[in-house]
Amino acid sequence: MATGLGSFTVTCQCRTVSTGGRRAQASGAGRHGLERIESCRRGGQTAESEHAGQGTTLSESRAVAAAKRLPVLKTHKVYVDGKFPRSESGRFDRALAPDGTPLANVCRCSRKDVRDAVTAARAAQAGWAARTAYNRGQILYRIAEMLEGRSAQFEALLAAGNATPDEAAAEVQAATDRLVHYAGWTDKYGQVFSSVNPVASSHFNFSILEPTGVVGVLAPESPLLGLVSATAPAIAGGNTTVVLVTGSQPLPAVTFGEVLNSSDVPGGVVNILTGRREEMLAPLAAHRDVDALVLCTADPDVARSAEIEAVHNLKRVAVRPHEDWTNVQSPYEIADLQEVKTTWHPIGS
């Protein structure tokens, strides 16, 4: 640093500034810096040109890497007691597209999982039956709302199972409408099927419907509409359910459990298990705390074997061999899972 009376000069790496003479001169180090910047700029332009020329090659490399990558498949859990536990067995099956492409993993439940689901359904049954018919209707309508909000997801799942886009959209809409249909019947079927009976004695004689209790459901192959059509009338009438999903397209059913979980349905009212029919149906049919069975199968041998197991505690068995569930909706589907209680009330001497 040089100092004087009239001026002082400060020398740095980049430039020299003279305060007295108002002059700025680029130093040698500054000139070298500018040269380096210009060289980097020219080099960057060259690299960009080379990269643009190799764009196709990079895309091909990424495609090859993606083809070699092992996909991480989602393992869907079961839906029991309002929670999403894994199967007690720790086993799983792989859900496949019609062309054999792996889609996801689903739990392969055991007889222990069936017993746990029945326990949850029994614990929830009294509280669910005690709710007003109006409240049960509200909850079924809420399920329909949530299903409608996730319609795109369910359409994609159905399309992965070989449905066309139009067929998938139609099935999701039909399932939503089916829930609304049974939501409307919750406070009306009792008026239709109950009665005041004429008797010869001095009594009032009333017949009213009450829920059967815990209902085991063998879900149909129809992955969404059939599942809803078999389950909705059971819970509309105050029953709780254990649903066995054993078909080739389980993903809509296990995803439907997520809809139920966000739809104000109390835990244990609907329990969904995935796995193999030969490992789950017999324990469910023979369970003494199950009051009724709904068998959605067209195989007479399967229905007969379940009916034989159901004899142990005289379960009510409803066989529904439908393959097309488009028009399967009726208040009689609710009445099939109701018990009739008749009361005699004296009216005088």
Q: Is 137 exposed, middle or buried (0-12, 13-18, 19+ CB in 10 A)?
A: buried
pLDDT band at 307 (very low <50, low <70, confident <90, very high): very high
pLDDT at 41 over 80: no
Highest mean pLDDT among 6-15, 188-197, 234-243: 234-243
β 102-107/92-96 pair status: antiparallel
| Neighbouring residues of 317: CB distance < 8 A, sequence distance ≥ 6 | 292, 293, 295, 303, 306, 307, 310
Average pLDDT (15-33) is: 42
**Are the C-beta atoms of 179 and 140 separated by less than 8 Å?**
yes
Q: What pTM does this model have?
A: 0.79
Tell me which architecture the domain covering 75-346 has in CATH.
3-Layer(aba) Sandwich (3.40)
pLDDT at 8 over 80: no
pLDDT band at 17 (very low <50, low <70, confident <90, very high): very low
pLDDT band at 206 (very low <50, low <70, confident <90, very high): very high
Residue 179: predicted pLDDT: 98
- CB-CB neighbours of 288 under 10 Å: 9
Residue 4: predicted pLDDT: 40
> What b/e string do you get for 143-170 counting C-beta neighbours within 10 Å, with b at 16 or more?
bbebbbebeeebbebbbbbebeeeebbb
217, 321, 110, 271 alpha-carbon torsion, rounded to 10°: -20
d(CA 246, CA 8): 92
Closest CA to 225 of 287, 189, 181: 181
For 102-160, what is each residue's pLDDT tens digit? Answer: 899 999 999 999 999 999 999 999 999 999 999 999 999 999 999 999 999 999 999 99
Residue 18: predicted pLDDT: 38
Token pair 């689903």 in the structure block, residue: 106
Percent of the chain with pLDDT over 90: 71
For 317-326, what is each residue's pLDDT tens digit? Answer: 999 999 899 9
For 62-116, what is each residue's pLDDT tens digit? Answer: 777 767 777 788 899 999 999 999 999 999 999 998 888 889 999 999 999 999 9
Tell me the domain boundaries of the chain. Answer: 2-67, 75-346
| Neighbouring residues of 48: CB distance < 8 A, sequence distance ≥ 6 | none
